[in-house]
Amino acid sequence: MPKKKWWKESVVYQIYPRSFKDSNGDGTGDLKGIISKLDYLHYLGVNVLWLCPVYHSPNVDNGYDISDYRGIMDEMGTMADWEELRDGLHSRDMKLVMDLVVNHTSDQHRWFQESRSSKDSPYRSYYIWRPGKDGKEPNNWSSEFGGSAWEFDALTGEYYLHVFSKNQPDLNWENKTVRYEIYDMMRWWLDKGVDGFRMDVINMIAKHPDLPDAPSVDSSPYQWGGQFFINGPRLRYYLREMYVKVLSKYDIMTVGETRWVDADMARIFVDEYRHELNMLFHFELLELDYGPSGKWEKKAWELSDFKRILSDWQKKLADSGWNSLFLSNHDHPRMVSRFGNDSTYRVESAKMLATLLHTLQGTPYIYQGEEIGMTNVRFPCIEHYRDIETLNMYEEGLKNSKDLKELTEVICEKGRDNARTPMQWNDSSQAGFTEGTPWISVNPNYQEINVEQAQQDQNSILHYYRKLIDLRRRYPLFVYGDYRLILHKHTRIYSYLRHWEEETLLVILNFFEESAVFTLPERVTFKNGRLLIANYSDINEKIVAEDLNELSLRPYEARVYLLD
């Protein structure tokens, strides 16, 4: 039986600050903009705000390249603004989670500037430096953003490792001084009132000490070396040390972003008795539509795989761990465009997907704009895009003579900028995001899809989210109930039971635009049922068992019944 914790009962709202709300007309969202919308977040019903990086940064990767962990980015505001945000959240009984980016820093960070100044610098071993090999890079690893994962620095004649951009050198976690600097920084923020951390690519901090070449799978000079820098040999030691030195001293929540982790591995990370992390963001589900060559290759996803993966995580983390429930974030396309239907059935499919996320065991995460059904964007040309990963892929694609139309299509479908267009507040100029020119263009559909319109429509996606959040608050069953999949082999319907104490929840979801027939399994018995929520408004609230023997579901229909 799961232990009760405040973060298990919470609903988290993720804010990508530069795209949320601009307060001063410079086109970039900022802290004062977020403060101006705290009443909206309280109205929505969320009780934890996860804030993407607002630290000092040159913004090569939109804040994930940090040059000062204890300062606030000028574009975002001041430390006084951050403190006002913290106090505004706490006064509304809401909590603040900050992004912790400690696999790498910016190349403008003081540590790196000192590190590159001399091989004899005391900061040299803060990063991973190696001499070249046979006139080339120390190994053949590719960067996550394309090209080599090594950059030559002429000042000292050696290469430094950067798994991401060349402007994001990787920290050397083998160095105890580095780790203790990080722990001291974490305590500093926690003492200022932070309620937890989302830990960016945290399972990449432990590299294989020999930094061996990656196996070659194609003719490229650079190969993905993740098996040597993900889930490395000392990762568990570092996480437990972090817990002992920092996390154990505070009542906070932690969630780690972890690639290349399945449910069996996750049980170790989040086991409540091992004291490493509370939750993980895993990508087994979000990589369903990745082709053999990765993200930029299209592949159709199957509901059978979707159910298998979610059920595996639900079952294996049920006893001593906890799930993070999400289908989108700042690095992934909009969930209604990816797993639903963002045209004819946008409203119905967005509500159906929300029903899924808020009726599984775990903590739901809402990415800004998800609650109004924001969609992917189709920009007219590459000049409108801002994401470094997308721009690098496009440039490499052109160098390799890839078809321009295919490149454009895959960017529209999978690019990170889909999630980063400005929040759509109303139908005024620039969607009410800014009075200036936004740092990235607004999605043209803002006149139909915006918060103001959604607030006025009682059948909107926004109001549906408010109802789901309220149900989760009222019924411990939604939070702590166990999970049992039914209709395992149905190709269109995802249905499951949740049970807690004397209550049972039946969740029925049609994942497609075609009608589908739900048949109640004989082993599921009950006398009466009550409809708690549905995404079509013309359904009887009370039922008897016979009513569910055979049920015709409309496109993307979702129903949740309380059975007795």
CB atoms within 10 A of CB 208: 14
Q: Is the pLDDT of residue 555 over 80?
A: yes
Q: Is the pLDDT of residue 166 over 70?
A: yes
The structure tokens listed for 26 are 């410079």
Q: For residue 530, is it within any domain? A: yes
Percentage of the chain with pLDDT > 90?
93
Residue with tokens 């009950």: 526
457/390 Cα distance (integer angstroms): 36
**Model pTM score:** 0.97
Domain boundary among 465, 489, 504: 465
Residues 247 and 339 in one domain: yes
Q: Is the pLDDT of residue 546 over 80?
A: no
Q: For residue 496, is it within any domain? A: yes
Region 113-118: what's the mean pLDDT? 98
Residues 118 and 50 in one domain: no
User: What crossing angle do the helices spanning 235-245 and 176-191 adopt, rounded to 10°?
Assistant: 40
539/359 Cα distance (integer angstroms): 19
Residues 55 and 142 in one domain: no
Q: Phi then psi for 8, rounded to 5 degrees? A: -75, -30
Lowest-confidence region among 18-27, 330-339, 533-542: 533-542
Residues 37 and 140 in one domain: no
282/262 Cα distance (integer angstroms): 8
Residues 142 and 189 in one domain: no
Task: List, for residues 217-271, the tens digit of each pLDDT value.
Answer: 999 999 999 999 999 999 999 999 999 999 999 999 999 999 999 999 999 999 9
CB-CB contact of 548 with 529 (8 Å): yes
Residues 492 and 347 in one domain: no
Residues 320 and 266 in one domain: yes
Name the residue with higher pLDDT: 319 or 437. Answer: 437
Mean pLDDT, the chain, whole residue set? 96
Residue 68, strand partner residues: 56
**What range does the domain containing 142 cover?**
110-161
Percentage of the chain with pLDDT > 70?
99
Residues 296 and 195 in one domain: yes
183: three-class secondary structure by DSSP: helix
Q: For residue 286, is it within any domain? A: yes
Q: Which residues contact 158 (CB under 8 A, 6 or more apart)?
A: 119, 129, 130, 131, 132, 152
Residues 132 and 265 in one domain: no
pLDDT of residue 545: 62
Q: Which residues contact 466 (CB under 8 A, 6 or more apart)?
A: 43, 44, 45
**Banded pLDDT at 529 (limits 50, 70, 90):** confident
Residues 301 and 272 in one domain: yes
Provide the CATH number for the domain around residue 154.
3.90.400.10
pLDDT of residue 544: 63
Q: In the chain, what's the furthest Cα-to-Cα distance?
A: 79
Region 505-522: what's the mean pLDDT? 96
Q: For residue 87, is it within any domain? A: yes
Count of the separate structural domains present in the chain: 3
Query: What are the catalytic residues?
Result: 200, 257
pLDDT of residue 142: 97
| E strand or H helix that includes residue 146 | none
Q: Is the pLDDT of residue 47 over 80?
A: yes
pLDDT of residue 393: 93
Provide the CATH number for the domain around residue 217.
3.20.20.80
Q: For residue 475, is it within any domain? A: no
Domain boundary among 432, 465, 498: 465
Residues 360 and 403 in one domain: yes
Q: For residue 5, is it within any domain? A: no
Q: For residue 169, is it within any domain? A: no
Region 42-46: what's the mean pLDDT? 98
Region 304-309: what's the mean pLDDT? 98
pLDDT of residue 525: 86
Q: Is the pLDDT of residue 540 over 80?
A: no
Domain boundary among 161, 186, 201: 161
Residues 77 and 193 in one domain: yes
Task: List, for residues 425-461, the tens digit of each pLDDT value.
Answer: 999 999 999 999 999 999 999 999 999 999 999 999 9
CB atoms within 10 A of CB 351: 28
99/69 Cα distance (integer angstroms): 11
Q: For residue 171, is it within any domain? A: no
